Chain A
Amino acid sequence: MFTWKSQLTLKKLPISLLSILGLPVLMILTTQSPESWALSHRPKMGSASGYMNGISKRLKPAGLSLEPELRAQIIAIAFEEYQATEKSWQTPDGREMDPAIMEASIQATHARIRDRVKPLLDEKVFAEFVEFQKPKFNQQPITLENGLWTRTSPFYRLLVDLYLFLVLPMSCVRTCGAVIRDELENDTLGFLTTRPIRRATQLVVKFLAHTTWLQIWMLLQVGLLFLVGYIRHIPDLQQLIPVFLGVQVLAVCSWCALGLFLGMVSKKYMPLALLYGGLIEMGIGSIPTNINTLSMMRQMKALLGHNVELENFFNWPDISTGVPVLVLILAVPLFVTLAAFLFTFREYHHANEVQR
């Protein structure tokens, strides 16, 4: 109750808005709409002069060559045909054309080039030209989706790498690590520990209050991120949302429990969390044996891998951890029990908190 009440103040509103809007704004700035992406990333046939260089290379081993004038003519033909084809790919709404149609137009382009070049070349050279052209008939245009950095890359990177694997864990650890530490720092813990209720019960109640608060807050945050995804026409968002939300609910509980435990271990729980992240999540989590089950991020990847879009995009290694949901759920009572044990048997007082 105290958590909720003290969060809802006008004084905290600017910081809250900044924190919740920062990532969606970054996402909307970096993820382009299909229209603007299409304008800046048009599918291309390739370079006409590169085409000519390819022919020259093909002729050279056979002891053949082309006159400069002839070369210029072939380049001009290739350039004209490439341009005409690329122009035919531009749709009125900027969306990408069907790949099958594009493939057919590529084949037609090369056929037209061949027909126009044929009268210019002697038989021997033309035979080499036809051989050079053969693989070109199977050429793929440089399209929206077959580059290394696609239109949807910023969305997925920000959503998974930055939000789910960095912002969310840090927010959870910061919030739940501070459950007792902030009370100590403000010298208000005595008001709670002198109440007729077991320390362990108090800690669990505070943990539940903070975790529920974070679930709501993070739901709001991810809702905004998905709104950006919807505005930017991220494909198959409706399939991604339920999987992602399920993972987020589990992740918030697990990271909060970890944060609670680290907060009870040390005043410097944030550096400790970074150490944990480096050692367990990045280190042990990437060892290809069963020990990597200890990594909570690995379990989350295993769950997210059920979504085809994410699986294709991130190309995560085959993760067969068996029971990722169970592991994430079990992490919660484990860390909370350890934290409650520390809070019950260890002293926490203000003087120590402000001195160190």
Chain B
Amino acid sequence: MDRKSEGEAGMKTIIEATELNRWYGIVMGLNNVSFKIESGLTGLVGPNGAGKSTLIQIITGQLKPSSGKLTVFGESPWNNPALTRRVGYCPEGEAVPQDLRPLDWLKGLGLISGISPSEVVPRAEAMLDKVGLRREHWPKRMGEYSKGMKQRIKLAQGLLHQPELIVLDEPMNGLDPMGRQEVANMLKQLVHDGVSIIISSHILAELESLCSSILVLNWGRVLASGNQKEIRGDIKNWSEELSIRCNAPEVLARHLFDAGMLQGFDLDPEESILHIRVKNAELFYASWLGLLLGSGVIVYSIQSESRSLRNIFDKVTT
């Protein structure tokens, strides 16, 4: 069965962690973490220090677990070249060899990865084209590259040996909106081709639109996992949060408060925005049109914060 048909056939577990712990001296990186990641595109979400990079480095065989077990495609990743052949990695940060040209670097990495000398140059060139690094930049040394260009070349080296799983640590950093869209499209295409992707990012809106499932990490623990619907379903009794831009936010706040709908509110007089937390979302949405009309204020826009991934992330990490 080829990758594509495997992808179409359904999800399968590619990574499994059981009571995984990782310590740095007395500092805890991962704390008794157990989870499964299935094929497809999975987002790793969490603030700095949450344990995302530690987890990524264990998955890619750069770190060993202090205790517990993590397997990728059923194998331990540490010092396992057979497994590494199936995994691609794009690290966080801007670090690339400053004095090398991208094609030289990719050629070297390609040869190390077992690509034949005759195949390595066309493959490297194809990858540079694929990540959108324009040919006029190829003769430059990578030290002269912008942040966005470095991201693209890092992506290219991760894709070079055509892995089955690609682990991307903050790959969108430094890319302009068009570049982000290009990379997002490329990732979607890879997933369509049967490649699994794990992506960590602080740009949550992008993960929301990209990822089939999410793993939320904080303080070295997995706080929630699954698809976005499941995560929302897991967390009961969330209050609904809305931002309403109108001509008289104070009047509207008083009106809603008198109606017994509000758990709390914040005013932003400069922007004429009222941020509200409603007690009972179901009841509120049943009567909200009447309530707004009854207040007599002119409403310009209403935005639900609770429906975004950002809100889910904030909820589970605070």
Contact = CB atoms under 8 A, between A and B. Distances in A.
B113 interface: yes
Nearest to A188: B95
B93 interface: yes
B100 A349 contact: no
Given A1-B108, A6-B100, A9-B141, A194 B95 contact: no
Given A2-B97, A187-B93, A190-B91, A196 B85 contact: yes
Q: What is the interface residue range for chain A against chain B?
A: 20 to 34
A64 interface: no
Given A5-B100, A11-B99, A194-B84, 6 more contacts: A6-B99, A187-B95, A190-B60, A190-B91, A194-B88, A195-B109
Interface string B72-101: 000000010110110111010101111111
B61 A193 contact: yes
B266 interface: no
A195 B112 contact: yes
Contact of B113 (A190, A195, A352): A195
Contact of B91 (A1, A191, A196): A191
Nearest to A183: B97
Contacts of A187: 91, 93, 95
B113 A197 contact: yes
Interface residues of B, number: 35
A314 B261 CA distance: 97
Given A193-B61, A349-B57, A6 B161 contact: no
A197 B81 contact: yes
Contacts of B57: 190, 349
Interface in A157-194: 186-194
A195 B82 CA distance: 10
Contacts of A5: 99-101, 104
Contacts of B63: 347, 349
B96 A188 contact: yes
A196 B84 contact: yes
**Is chain A's interface secondary structure helix, strand, loop, or mixed overall?**
helix
A197 B83 CA distance: 10
Nearest to B64: A347
Contact of B87 (A2, A186, A194, A202): A194
A136 interface: no
A306 interface: no
A6 B101 CA distance: 9
Interface of A: 1-2, 5-6, 9, 11-12, 186-199, 202, 344, 347, 349, 351-352
Given A1-B108, A2-B108, A344-B79, A194 B99 contact: no
Would you list the 10 A-B pairs with minimal beta carbon distance, nearest first?
Answer: A196-B85, A187-B95, A6-B99, A194-B89, A196-B84, A196-B81, A195-B112, A190-B91, A194-B60, A1-B108
B303 interface: no
Contacts of A11: 99
B200 interface: no
A179 to B, nearest CB: 14
Contacts of B104: 1, 5
Contacts of A194: 60-62, 84, 87-89
Interface string B164-185: 0000000000000000000000
A178 to B, nearest CB: 13
B290 interface: no
Contacts of A197: 81, 84, 112-114
Contacts of B93: 187
B194 to A, nearest CB: 19
A316 to B, nearest CB: 42
B24 interface: yes
Contacts of A2: 97, 100, 105, 108
A195 B91 contact: no
10 contacts: A1-B111, A2-B100, A12-B99, A186-B95, A190-B60, A191-B89, A194-B61, A196-B161, A347-B62, A349-B57
B166 to A, nearest CB: 11
A191 B105 CA distance: 10
Contact of B81 (A6, A9, A186, A198): A198
Contacts of A196: 81-82, 84-85, 112-114, 161
Contacts of B111: 1
Q: Interface centre among A11, A191, A193, A194, by most B CB within 10 Å?
A: A194
Contacts of B105: 2
Interface string B252-285: 0000000000000000000000000000000000
Contacts of B96: 188
B213 interface: no
A5 to B, nearest CB: 5
A190 B81 contact: no
A195 B84 contact: yes
Q: Interface centre among A187, A196, A198, by most B CB within 10 Å?
A: A196
Contacts of A9: 99, 141
A2 B112 CA distance: 12
A58 B231 CA distance: 115
B317 to A, nearest CB: 22
B157 interface: yes
B97 A193 contact: no
A3 to B, nearest CB: 10
Contacts of A6: 97-100
Nearest to B92: A187
